[in-house]
Amino acid sequence: MILRNNLKSLRLGYSNLLSTFSSEGTRFTVGDVKPLHICLQSHLVYRYITTTSSANQPEFTVNYLINSCGLSPEAAVLASKRFKLQSPEKADSVLAFLRNYGFSETQISKVVRSHPRIIHADPEKTLLPKLEYFGSLGASREDIVRTLATNPQVLGRSLEKAIIPYYNSLRSVLSDKDVVSVFKLCSRMFPIKNVVQNIMFLRELGMPSFCISLFIRTRLLILNHEKLGEVMREVREMGFNLEKSVSVLAIVALGCKNSKSTLNRSRQVFMMRWGWSEDDVLSAFMKFPKCMTVSEKKLMQVMEFLVNKMGWSSRMIAKHPLVWSYSLDKRIIPRCSVVKVLLLKGLIKENFSVSSVLCCTEKHFLNTFVYRYLNQVPELQNVYQGKVDIRDV
């Protein structure tokens, strides 16, 4: 009934507007209106909606979110259910403030879509103090904009009652640099009790500050303390040294959601399809834990290329699990293509390791496998760049 009445009111207002611009004794119809008049009518209808709708009518809010904030009609309707815009003045001032601070139109749209009540805020009294505080932590303006555009909900928290106490607690156990890392990666303000308790726990276990800094970037600081304790016990029982950065990768692999099923899946693929032993799996995990958490698709693509295309032993690859940290298209295939050409032409022997081809720096690879042989194979650099197929060399 309310929607029907609103539509009736809108039609009545639309008719009144058309009659106002009609000449004496002449009615305008949609079919008679020229393109310029169509634009004028659309503008007048929008003006009518925005000036006559009250706070109880959603049309004004929806139209403002679409036309001023860049939301899609669907997103605007959803957002309008969470608040009602009283007038455009305050909202306009919020948008102007965000633009002046450095938010792009796309970022503003993301902020409003995720946290629409922000356009009710007072820019000078509410928003500016929060942004200034984040700057005082050591975050650059670019960091602040990028982080808040991703997780704008923090702007809805109280500065005095939530934000400052949260970061003061972090500063009691972290360096200023690490606090900024927490802000950039975990701006949603997770339960501070978990974060502080877990940092203290890691220190008690002997994890050095540089490893804790890496750990912060994993977002696992928010784990329930008991859950983290279980993961840490498992990592230590496997023989990882908590003073080494690889232990952080193991914690991530074992502590992430569905970790058990993911690790078991990878284990089955390596053993059933590629002939690895239990010792091979454990050795690979100890060297590079992330090799067990990559997608099955990438796992298979890398193995199929290195084993079937390059002819390398599957168990030899098990000794160099770092290969799963590299891009197949950007690193593995270009480098292996160069090596394949050199092997086919008899310029090198197969007495090199996987790591000497894939794990070295680009400068070292180019000097060792490309520049050295350009006189014999002028097309070698084009092979590396993917411009020439190895069959054409």
Cβ atoms of 331 and 358 within 8 Å: the answer is: yes
* pLDDT number for residue 57: 54
- Is 69 a member of any domain? no
Tally the domains of the chain: 1
What end-to-end distance do the CA atoms of the chain give, in Å? Answer: 76
Domain that holds residue 375: 326-393
Residue with tokens 């959601």: 257
* pLDDT number for residue 295: 93
- Is 362 a member of any domain? yes
Q: What gap in Å lies between CA 62 and CA 181, rounded to an integer?
A: 37
- Is 51 a member of any domain? no
Over the chain (393 residues), the average pLDDT of each successive run of 10 is 42 42 39 41 42 56 91 90 84 95 95 90 95 94 92 88 85 83 68 79 89 78 85 93 93 85 93 95 95 94 95 93 96 96 93 91 96 95 91 75
Three-state DSSP class for residue 243: coil
Cα-based distances in Å from 209 to 89, 178, 203, 236, 245: 49, 10, 8, 18, 11
- Is 339 a member of any domain? yes
- Is 359 a member of any domain? yes
- Is 46 a member of any domain? no
- Is 137 a member of any domain? no
250-282 as b/e, with b when 16 or more CB fall inside 10 Å?
Answer: bbbbbbbeeeeebbebbbebbeeebebeeebbe
* pLDDT number for residue 5: 44
- Is 145 a member of any domain? no
* pLDDT number for residue 13: 43
pTM for the whole structure: 0.62
